Amino acid sequence: MSVVQSLINDVSQKIHALETAQALYSRQLSPDFSTFDYINTDELGLSRILAALLDPKGSHAQQESFLKLFVEHCLPTIHRDDKWQLFLDNIEKTEVFLEEVTGKSNSLRRMDIYLRCKVDDESYGICIENKPYAVDQPNQLIDYYNELIAKGHTDPQIVYLSEYNDTPNPASVDAETLKCWIDKKQYSHLRFSDLIGWLKTCQVECQNPSVSEFIAQLIKFIQKQFMGIEDMNEDNAILEIIKKNAATIDASIKVSNTVNRMKKELIAKLKIDLLAKYKKADYELDISYIGEGRRYEQIRFIIPGYDMGWICFEFDSADFDRPILGIKFTSVEAAKACPYTEKMKMVLNTMLTDKKVNSSAQWPAYYYFDPQDWKGSSEAWLMINEGTMADKILGEMDVVFNTLKANGCFTKY
């Protein structure tokens, strides 16, 4: 038996043993239970949670400890800057606001999380732009920066929180301006996975068991939603096998190198299945934009005579991960020009009661396709291999199309 085959067998046996243990002790372990299955985790919901933890006057009653740890772990630019020392010495005076309207600069946007601290003649302002799912809006970060200046903050700080984007969209802030902010230490980029270290430290410092358990559930949610980690026990068990010796490490690298090829071959099979199962309707199936694993690859239903957009299944992340499904317009401008964008979201929200319908600049209405995790779970790939994924995608896209059509959302204007 080859080392690769032996490694795969060992991993399979370990996973089977863990699944057996979880089945036997499920009542004690409750492995599938998560508080965050019952909490609103859209952009506003996550902003509310983070703002509550950061607030020195928050109901967690841990005073300024969480905020102080946040600056230390997540904002080293501020923590090491002498200009912010007065803020750090008076951090308990910080006020935290949710959805703060940018009235001073007259841009009338809403800052997701706004932190303000005044000490004598000094005024410190931090805007946290929370981007868990949606895309950036034109001039969004520039407007937030201008608002901080208009509010009289001599030391403004823009924090861009996004797991999947290394930098904001150039439409939100151009590269030259962003570089200027970075050079002046007025910009920080954070990923949700970067919050894990901060949250774990908060657990250690926290003196209330209920708050500590909430933080533990938040960590678990971030690991699953943004990092693709379903079960840390399983993850650690596999890592232990892989690191056992030089042979298993070498075998794991060889297995890893073939995973992307396997995914591309299964996506090729999915395309064949889609073509075979697609039935002529009031739209045309377009699969020419999927196959390489680049971010935003998609499957389209092209609507003859309707050039504003299409029904779309799209991977929100690279390597075929985090798919969303809904109606996507050709551009932000096209979406703004359409008088039915709000109606589209309302209609799908009303009719698709089992979905959480969202909207963004180019997507008047969309939801996160289930299964969502194509990176850390085998569920989606097994469905493709079994031939059932094509039915699911075609079926859901057809429902979205017919629901919008029946409610007059494709009427010319």
Domain extent, residue 17, equals 3-33+229-255
Residues 273 and 300 in one domain: yes
Measuring CA to CA, how many Å separate 14 from each of 220, 236, 258, 342, 349?
22, 11, 21, 49, 42
Assigned domain for 396 exists = yes
Give the C-alpha separation, 269 to 211, whole Å: 47
Check residue 6 and give its pLDDT. 66
**What pLDDT digit, counting tens, does each position of 2-21 carry?**
665 665 566 556 555 545 54
Using the predicted structure, report yes or no on whether residue 255 has a pLDDT greater than 90: no
Using the predicted structure, report yes or no on whether residue 291 has a pLDDT greater than 50: yes
Using the predicted structure, report yes or no on whether residue 261 has a pLDDT greater than 90: no
Percent of residues, the chain, with pLDDT higher than 90: 58
Check residue 236 and give its pLDDT. 64
323 token code pair: 């798919």
Picking from 211, 240, 270, the residue at the C-terminal end of a domain is: 211
In order, the DSSP letters of 261-320 are HHHHHHHHHHHHHHHHH----SSEEE-TT-SS--TT-EEEEE-TT--SEEEEEEEEETTT
Place of tokens 């208009």: 150
**pLDDT band at residue 351 using 50, 70 and 90 as cut-offs:** very high
Residues 243 and 264 in one domain: no
79 against 4, higher pLDDT: 79
Q: Which neighbouring-strand residues pair with 358?
A: 366
In order, the DSSP letters of 159-202 are EEE-SS-SS--TTTS-HHHHHHHHHTT-EEEE-GGGHHHHHHHH
Using the predicted structure, report yes or no on whether residue 29 has a pLDDT greater than 70: no
Check residue 361 and give its pLDDT. 82
27 against 131, higher pLDDT: 131
Assigned domain for 216 exists = no
Check residue 16 and give its pLDDT. 56
Residues 155 and 238 in one domain: no
Give the C-alpha separation, 41 to 44, whole Å: 7
Residues 271 and 241 in one domain: no
Residues 394 and 377 in one domain: yes
Residues 243 and 346 in one domain: no
- Give mean pLDDT, residues 94-99: 96
Residues 100 and 183 in one domain: yes
Assigned domain for 276 exists = yes
Assigned domain for 217 exists = no
**What pLDDT digit, counting tens, does each position of 138-191 carry?**
999 999 999 999 999 988 999 999 987 778 988 899 999 999 999 999 999 999
Number of H helices, E strands in the chain: 16, 10
Q: Do 354 and 368 contact (CB within 8 A), yes or no?
A: no
Check residue 311 and give its pLDDT. 96
Q: Do 35 and 217 contact (CB within 8 A), yes or no?
A: yes
Q: Which residues of 218-234 are buried (b: 16+ CB within 10 A; e: fewer)?
A: bbbbbbbbbbbbbbeeb
Q: Which of 318, 342, 317, 319 is nearest to 327 (CA)?
A: 342
Residues 93 and 188 in one domain: yes
Q: What is the number of other CB atoms lying within 10 angstroms of the CB of residue 42?
A: 13
Assigned domain for 411 exists = no
Assigned domain for 265 exists = yes
Check residue 163 and give its pLDDT. 86
Picking from 211, 238, 270, the residue at the C-terminal end of a domain is: 211
Check residue 25 and give its pLDDT. 46
Assigned domain for 220 exists = no
Assigned domain for 218 exists = no
88 against 135, higher pLDDT: 88
- Give mean pLDDT, residues 119-135: 90
Count structural domains, the chain. Answer: 3
The mean pLDDT of the chain is 87
Q: Which of 104, 38, 44, 96 is nearest to 66 (CA)?
A: 96
Phi and psi at 322, nearest 5°, equal: 55, 65
Residues 189 and 248 in one domain: no
Check residue 114 and give its pLDDT. 97
- Give mean pLDDT, residues 322-334: 92
Residues 74 and 124 in one domain: yes
Residues 82 and 170 in one domain: yes
Check residue 18 and give its pLDDT. 47
Give the C-alpha separation, 112 to 103, whole Å: 14
Residues 53 and 173 in one domain: yes
**pLDDT band at residue 135 using 50, 70 and 90 as cut-offs:** confident
Question: In this predicted structure, which of 18-22, 241-245, 357-361 has the lowest mean pLDDT?
Answer: 18-22
Check residue 5 and give its pLDDT. 65
Instruction: Give me the count of residues in the chain.
Output: 413
